[in-house]
């Protein structure tokens, strides 16, 4: 192969912006997330020449797996789940630096083997390596993993230097405010806050990252982003799938914990936060925390409360009949778990006083979509006030996060002809159309940022607690109610009538997201 055609990663070179030599250790290496997302993300970073020249991957799990078998499993996951075809030359380079260590998560013996493996890599390359621990295990063993990393000294490796150990933590980070505080206390016993990367993959999506650019780099939007011009904001995170085979697991969580507390609150904070003083990670995260702390306590018990919960009944999805939640496998007869949650929030600050924020998330809804819709106030009804003559819609900016990433703007336009008739029209920008469809997946960006120490897209400990402080009173209230006030919605719909009433009370209507 000629030198100009040879991929630089094959020569152990890297053009990346400062990623140090790194060992990534994945706890829960035989799990579904590792197979579907983590290994493909690391491979695609290698394919793009974004891994450091000395890069090593160690899988850690309870199940004994020979190195060759683990490498074959990783290879197979790339064939099935990588967004790009497998380049065997790049894979061979990664494969040579991939191994597996087994051991119980709460036994020091496995961590001793892990430490020895890391030491052997350092002897091989002749220099210190940064170690990044990716905890992709069930929440029940998180505390054990963190404690053992601290006990064996792996958590404090190279502390105070650019090669200090890092730990990446998957959600859920706690199940309420008390457990989140306890987890923060545990992890802070062994890791400094600047070593901790609490991950929410939504923050790695291109459109979420683009939200700051849309807000602060466009003079046509930035002056309007306040109570003087915004009528309301709606954030929708919906799925058309049911709980499937995960019924028993999901019933311990529910829509509020599973989607609202993390993904949806993250979208809210980026949408509504004040401009940070810089793009420095801590400046951005400071403003997100301030925003969450400015959310007013919710009214829970009155007939016109700020929260709605529901679960799906029978219905049609893509023309096929699907069962109700209570008929799904693994759901207990006395379940009081919601599959849909809607919140109406008020933000007590100068920018957003009087502007309602509507959040909703649910399963078995009309379609899979995640979007942020900023509805602007309508102009005075003087020229086009005759509703039976003019078809007008509020100007709305829609930031669509999935499945078709992009931004659209709803405007009103005159219909061609001799009469003055109007019609709402949509101006669309789509990432696929402009930039092509093969954009990096969220985990690629997040793993790369964690390696180089950029915490912008990760969640700080106080931010996690601020979010749980909003959600926990709702969970406690619902628990006290049992199945009372549990609404139902038809599968394939946009949710229950009770959620519509949240918006109607302010003369608003939920959007019906469309392509």
Contact 374, 227 (CB under 8 A): no
166-169 and 340-345: which strand pairing?
unpaired
Query: Of the listed 75, 190, 263, 508, which one is catalytic?
Result: 263
What whole-number distance in Å separates Cα of residue 324 and Cα of residue 310?
A: 12
> Are the beta carbons of 207 and 407 closer than 8 angstroms?
yes
β-strand 230-238 against 357-362: which pairing, if any? parallel
Buried b (16+ CB within 10 A) or exposed e, 242-263: bbeeebeebbebbbbbbbbbbb
DSSP string, 393-408: ---EEEEEEESS-EEE
CB 363 within 8 A of CB 242: yes
Burial of 150 (0-12, 13-18, 19+ CB in 10 A): middle
Q: How far apart are CA 514 and CA 334, in angstroms?
A: 36
Nearest to 448 by CA among 26, 100, 48, 146: 48
190 has catalytic annotation: no
Strands 166-169 and 307-317: unpaired
Segments of 379-442 assigned E as strands: 396-402, 406-414, 422-430
- Indicate which residues carry an active-site annotation: 263
């Amino acid at each position: 192969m000629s030198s100009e055609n040879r991929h630089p990663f094959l020569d152990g070179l890297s053009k990346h912006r400062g990623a140090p030599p790194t060992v990534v250790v994945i706890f829960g290496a035989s799990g579904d997330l590792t197979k579907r997302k983590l290994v493909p993300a690391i491979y695609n970073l290698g394919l793009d020449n974004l891994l450091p020249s000395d890069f090593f991957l160690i899988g850690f799990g309870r199940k004994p797996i020979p190195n060759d078998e683990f490498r074959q499993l990783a290879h197979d996951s790339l064939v099935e789940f990588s967004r790009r075809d497998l380049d065997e030359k790049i894979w061979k380079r990664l494969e040579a630096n991939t191994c597996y260590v087994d051991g119980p998560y709460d036994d020091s013996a496995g961590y001793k083997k892990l430490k020895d493996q890391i030491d052997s890599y350092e002897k091989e390359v002749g220099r210190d390596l940064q170690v990044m621990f990716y905890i992709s295990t069930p929440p029940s063993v998180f505390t054990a993993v963190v404690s053992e990393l601290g006990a064996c000294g792996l958590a404090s490796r190279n502390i105070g230097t650019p090669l200090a150990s890092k730990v990446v933590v998957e959600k859920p980070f706690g199940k309420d405010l008390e457990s989140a505080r306890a987890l923060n206390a545990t992890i802070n016993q062994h890791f400094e806050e600047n070593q901790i990367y609490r991950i929410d993959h939504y923050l790695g999506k291109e459109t979420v990252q683009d939200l700051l650019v849309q807000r602060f780099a466009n003079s046509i939007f930035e002056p309007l982003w306040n109570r003087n011009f915004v009528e309301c904001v709606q954030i929708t995170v919906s799925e058309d799938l049911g709980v499937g085979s995960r019924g028993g697991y999901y019933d311990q969580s529910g829509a509020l914990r599973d989607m609202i507390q993390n993904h949806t609150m993250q979208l809210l904070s980026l949408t509504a936060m004040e401009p940070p003083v810089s793009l420095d990670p801590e400046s951005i995260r400071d403003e997100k925390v301030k925003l969450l702390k400015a959310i007013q306590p919710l009214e829970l018990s009155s007939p016109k409360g700020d929260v709605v919960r529901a679960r799906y009944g029978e219905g049609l999805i893509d023309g096929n009949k699907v069962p109700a939640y209570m008929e799904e496998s693994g759901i207990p007869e006395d379940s009081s778990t919601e599959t849909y949650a809607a919140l109406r929030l008020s933000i007590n600050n100068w920018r957003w006083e009087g502007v309602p924020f509507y959040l909703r998330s649910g399963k078995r809804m009309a379609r899979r979509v995640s979007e942020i819709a900023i509805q602007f106030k309508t102009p005075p009804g003087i020229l086009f006030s005759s509703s039976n003559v003019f078809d007008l819609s509020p100007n709305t900016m829609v930031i669509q996060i999935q499945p078709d990433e992009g931004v659209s703007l709803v405007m009103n336009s005159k219909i061609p002809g001799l009469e003055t008739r109007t019609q709402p029209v949509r101006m669309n920008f789509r990432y696929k159309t402009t930039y092509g469809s093969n954009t990096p997946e969220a985990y690629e960006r997040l793993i790369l940022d964690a390696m180089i120490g950029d915490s912008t897209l990760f969640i700080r400990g106080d931010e996690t607690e601020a979010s749980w402080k909003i959600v926990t009173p709702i969970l406690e209230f619902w628990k006290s109610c049992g199945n009372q006030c549990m609404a139902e919605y038809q599968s394939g719909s946009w949710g229950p009538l009770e959620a519509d009433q949240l918006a109607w009370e302010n003369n608003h209507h939920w959007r019906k997201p469309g392509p």
